[in-house]
């Protein structure tokens, strides 16, 4: 029986490593693509929400003794989202979105004090659109987080983490609830 030279084992081992690296790289590119797509969906739904807010604020201002602090918070949160989006800082965008969620919650609590406002058709239409958008935001966040978790697991699992480090695939941030989200917003009209 003839022996296979060690040279062929070495060539075979190198070929296996090269194929593994190619497969790993392509897998990371695909996973990262799912993360990017998930984030694009989150941005799309937030933009839809941001486009609705000026109409909602105008309707509320026109029909209620609107609290200026709440209006300022909504406006600043909307601006923070736009600024973070322009510099493509996903972590900053996630923080800005949480800030916006909080400001929007305060706005909606403010609205509850004005039953005559809730009775207007324009307001009801806007609230219906906002409710649909909030559902879309929740689904987009969930889908994004699922894509990030799958990607992050892939970047941390051995031996994939070796390829991830070699090719510079870093873990991504998930969209977590704001720690303040557990508390209901309060608005004091006695001041």
pLDDT (tens digit per residue) in 71-105: 777 778 878 877 777 766 788 888 888 888 888 88
Domain extent listing, the chain = 9-182
pTM for this model (two decimals): 0.72
Assign 182 a pLDDT band (cuts: 50, 70, 90). Answer: low
Residue pLDDT, tens place only, 19-71:
999 999 999 999 999 999 999 999 899 888 888 888 777 777 665 555 667 77
CATH number of 9-182: 1.20.1440.20
110 and 140 Cβ atoms separated by less than 8 Å: no
Pairwise CA distance, residues 3 & 125, whole Å: 81
What percent of the chain shows pLDDT beyond 70?
82
Is residue 117's pLDDT more than 70? no
Per-residue pLDDT at 189: 41
Q: Which of 4-8, 10-14, 76-80 has the highest mean pLDDT?
A: 10-14
By three-state DSSP, how is residue 64 classified? Answer: coil
Q: What is the mean pLDDT of the chain?
A: 81
Cβ atoms 152, 169 nearer than 8 A: no
pLDDT of residue 118: 67
Nearest-5° Cα angle at 131, 128 to 135: 140
DSSP code of residue 180 = G
DSSP state letter for 88:
T
Given a cut of 70, is residue 178 above it in pLDDT? no
């Amino acid at each position: 029986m003839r022996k296979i030279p060690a040279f062929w084992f070495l060539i075979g081992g190198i070929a296996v490593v090269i194929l593994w690296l190619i497969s790993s790289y392509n897998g990371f590119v695909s996973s990262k693509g799912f993360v990017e797509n998930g984030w694009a969906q989150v941005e799309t739904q937030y933009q839809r929400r941001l486009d609705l807010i000026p109409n909602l604020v105008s309707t509320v201002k026109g029909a209620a003794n609107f609290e200026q602090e709440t209006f300022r918070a909504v406006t600043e949160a909307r601006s923070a989202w736009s600024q973070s989006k322009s510099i493509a800082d996903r972590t900053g965008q996630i923080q800005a979105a949480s800030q916006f969620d909080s400001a929007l919650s305060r706005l909606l609590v403010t609205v509850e004090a004005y039953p005559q406002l809730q009775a207007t058709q324009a307001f009801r239409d806007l609230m219906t659109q906002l409710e649909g958008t909030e559902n879309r935001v929740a689904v987009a966040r969930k889908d994004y987080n699922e894509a990030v978790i799958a990607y992050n697991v892939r970047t941390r699992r051995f031996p994939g983490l070796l390829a991830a480090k070699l090719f510079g695939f870093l873990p991504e941030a998930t969209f977590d609830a704001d720690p303040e989200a557990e508390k209901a917003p309060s608005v004091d009209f006695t001041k």
